A and B are shown apart, each in its own frame.
Chain A
């Protein structure tokens, strides 16, 4: 039984079809990659899967229960959502930002307990952010901020993590770091689903991929099934070179295809 599954998902805003007939599944232990060109509908799909938006048609099930029937509070505890460009508006201290992750477990009058603080420590250890726990989050670099935001999600102790382009603006070091963290989260019988632009990272870290184009599912499956020269040419409009060896997989774009219509 899948942790999360979506059937026949349709999503329309003001008569514009954003997504059409999407079937998707995330099993425990998997790191799923959502890839596709700009405007393919990846972020929208992610939002539908977290329950933040509702599908126009179709159904999303979490733990074999329709998403709509699970209370928002419970969803908040079982799922963690890292939005694109996540940042803090007020200049909070790092450990205070991470403490926000405990909100789904607090009643409106409750304060942070010592149990909460232990969990926050764990989250910081996992993301290696202990070193700047007392710094102001808005003074950190992009990569450090993303790690802090991830730590916030870990403080919630969710089963499923949704991340929308978490590594887009990061340097290579932090890109690898973030993906490793997501990978190990998934490995511990949990799961994560990530929207990515970097095909090499997707190839290297994800168990399965869903390739979206114009709101439809172009194909899905293992990395080798999805990341073929033909698929990449058809969807992205670039000629590419894919190299697999024991060190890893890398996908390099070579040139643009002249008659491609994005």
Chain B
């Protein structure tokens, strides 16, 4: 099937309005029926009413958070796939997300988070970075898809085990049940506080990843050629990795490990940007935001008191997609 690439103006002309539409739908869904017009009016009049409270303190922060996290995951997926030149690379599959969750769990449950606001997302960053370093050590020079996936399986298993361990020994009596949140992810009951904590790291991370766009394009021709085009390959690689770990670390630290967005999104968009890694970055960010927001809408429709975790929906869609990808590239794997 030949999908024709789109001009930037057409592509964003479609994606941005869809994002806006989905955002409006997202703040419209919830267990209580409220009049959005009244809510906005009350807010403008500086009145705290039921409607304004629900819209601006509960639904909007939640939806914005879902949007930013979806964008982060989409962007990180596109970045990793560009860097590793491997279409199956994604923060969840290669174990970065679990690493971030481990870092966040240690900070949150052992009394470190309260010391300063940035320690929680920083814990996520460090956890993600450690996972990334281990991946590079395991994979070495080997570019094959299988090696990367195997390394990812190992990191995910180890990360999951340590998360369970950390929760087991935590003082809080609720810790163990909360493992579901960390491993599956959720934005329910997250407020502006979480938005404020995660945003700085996410924005910086985005900047770093977008900065590497040209580099990823040059990398299409190989590392040597990229070097000859004037890039300090080692330095650019470091900038990209820091960008990925900072943004994913922050996202996971406030919403847990939401999987598969970084895998599915670049795949969907790639044909529309003619496979250009640089163009893939921003468009994956926007599409990731759209997808995660949609998933959150589905979650809210299916369970009206936030029982279902967001990661369940993304897994239900993403896992079969992953399977399909593996089957499609079976020849390559031989």
Asked whether A and B interact, the reply is yes
Binding site for B on A (CB under 8 A): 47, 50-52, 71-73, 75-77, 79-81, 83, 86-93, 96-97, 100, 103-104, 106, 108, 149, 152, 156
Bound complex: CA of A104 vs CA of B228, how far in Å? Answer: 9
B275-A104 in contact (CB<8A): no
Bound complex: CA of A79 vs CA of B211, how far in Å? Answer: 24
A108-B228 in contact (CB<8A): no
Interface pairs (22), CB distance under 8 Å: A51-B228, A72-B230, A75-B230, A76-B228, A81-B228, A83-B221, A86-B222, A86-B225, A88-B220, A89-B85, A89-B220, A90-B85, A90-B275, A90-B277, A93-B5, A93-B274, A100-B217, A103-B214, A103-B217, A106-B214, A108-B211, A149-B221
Q: Please indicate the chain A residues that have their CB under 8 angstroms from the CB of B276 in the complex.
A: 90, 92, 96
B229-A104 in contact (CB<8A): yes
A108-B230 in contact (CB<8A): no
Q: Tell me whether B329 is interfacial, beta carbon within 8 Å.
A: no
Q: Please indicate the chain A residues that have their CB under 8 angstroms from the CB of B277 in the complex.
A: 90
With contacts A89-B85, A90-B277, A96-B276 taken as known, whether A104 is within 8 angstroms of B230 at the C-beta atoms is yes
Bound complex: CA of A88 vs CA of B275, how far in Å? Answer: 11
With contacts A72-B231, A76-B229, A79-B228 taken as known, whether A100 is within 8 angstroms of B274 at the C-beta atoms is no
Q: Please indicate the chain B residues that have their CB under 8 angstroms from the CB of A152 in the complex.
A: 221
Q: Please indicate the chain A residues that have their CB under 8 angstroms from the CB of B219 in the complex.
A: 89
B218-A90 in contact (CB<8A): no
Q: Please indicate the chain A residues that have their CB under 8 angstroms from the CB of B214 in the complex.
A: 103, 106, 108
Q: Please indicate the chain B residues that have their CB under 8 angstroms from the CB of A87 in the complex.
A: 221-222
Q: Please indicate the chain A residues that have their CB under 8 angstroms from the CB of B213 in the complex.
A: 108
- The chain B residue sitting closest to A93, CB to CB, is B274
Q: Please indicate the chain B residues that have their CB under 8 angstroms from the CB of A83 in the complex.
A: 221-222, 224-225, 228
Bound complex: CA of A106 vs CA of B229, how far in Å? Answer: 11
Bound complex: CA of A96 vs CA of B229, how far in Å? Answer: 16
Q: Please indicate the chain A residues that have their CB under 8 angstroms from the CB of B231 in the complex.
A: 72
**Interfacial residues of chain B within 270-318, with CB under 8 A of chain A in the complex:** 274-277
- The chain A residue sitting closest to B218, CB to CB, is A103
Q: Tell me whether B144 is interfacial, beta carbon within 8 Å.
A: no
Give chain B nearest CB distance to A142 CB in angstroms.
16
- Pick from A47, A76, A149: contact of B230, CB below 8 A: A76
Bound complex: CA of A40 vs CA of B220, how far in Å? Answer: 29
Q: Tell me whether B232 is interfacial, beta carbon within 8 Å.
A: yes
**Interfacial residues of chain B within 230-247, with CB under 8 A of chain A in the complex:** 230-232
Q: Tell me whether B227 is interfacial, beta carbon within 8 Å.
A: yes
Bound complex: CA of A52 vs CA of B276, how far in Å? Answer: 25
Give chain A nearest CB distance to B270 CB in angstroms.
8
Bound complex: CA of A213 vs CA of B231, how far in Å? Answer: 32
- Binary A-proximity of B187-228 (CB < 8 A = 1, otherwise 0): 000000000000000000000000101100111111011011
Bound complex: CA of A114 vs CA of B113, how far in Å? Answer: 52
With contacts A89-B85, A92-B275, A108-B214 taken as known, whether A50 is within 8 angstroms of B220 at the C-beta atoms is no
Q: Please indicate the chain B residues that have their CB under 8 angstroms from the CB of A77 in the complex.
A: 230
Q: Which 7 A-B residue pairs are closest in the complex by CB-CB distance?
A: A76-B230, A81-B228, A90-B275, A72-B230, A73-B230, A52-B227, A89-B85
Scoring B85, B218, B232 by chain A CB atoms within 10 A of each residue's CB, the highest score goes to B218
Bound complex: CA of A104 vs CA of B226, how far in Å? Answer: 10
Give chain A nearest CB distance to B212 CB in angstroms.
8
Q: Please indicate the chain A residues that have their CB under 8 angstroms from the CB of B275 in the complex.
A: 90-92
With contacts A83-B225, A103-B214 taken as known, whether A92 is within 8 angstroms of B232 at the C-beta atoms is no
- Given contact pairs A79-B228, A149-B221, enumerate 5 new A-B contacts (beta carbons under 8 Å): A86-B221, A90-B275, A103-B230, A108-B211, A156-B229
**Interfacial residues of chain B within 85-100, with CB under 8 A of chain A in the complex:** 85
Q: Please indicate the chain B residues that have their CB under 8 angstroms from the CB of A90 in the complex.
A: 85, 220, 275-277
Give chain B nearest CB distance to A166 CB in angstroms.
13
Q: Please indicate the chain A residues that have their CB under 8 angstroms from the CB of B232 in the complex.
A: 72
Bound complex: CA of A77 vs CA of B228, how far in Å? Answer: 9
Q: Please indicate the chain B residues that have their CB under 8 angstroms from the CB of A104 in the complex.
A: 229-230
Bound complex: CA of A73 vs CA of B229, how far in Å? Answer: 7
Give chain A nearest CB distance to B72 CB in angstroms.
20
Scoring A71, A86, A90, A149 by chain B CB atoms within 10 A of each residue's CB, the highest score goes to A90
- Pick from A91, A97, A103: contact of B229, CB below 8 A: A103
Q: Please indicate the chain A residues that have their CB under 8 angstroms from the CB of B220 in the complex.
A: 88-90, 92, 97, 100
Give chain B nearest CB distance to A137 CB in angstroms.
10
Give chain A nearest CB distance to B279 CB in angstroms.
10
Q: Please indicate the chain B residues that have their CB under 8 angstroms from the CB of A97 in the complex.
A: 220-221
Q: Please indicate the chain B residues that have their CB under 8 angstroms from the CB of A91 in the complex.
A: 275
Q: Please indicate the chain A residues that have their CB under 8 angstroms from the CB of B218 in the complex.
A: 100, 103
Bound complex: CA of A108 vs CA of B5, how far in Å? Answer: 22
B221-A100 in contact (CB<8A): yes
B221-A52 in contact (CB<8A): no
- The chain B residue sitting closest to A43, CB to CB, is B224
B230-A52 in contact (CB<8A): no
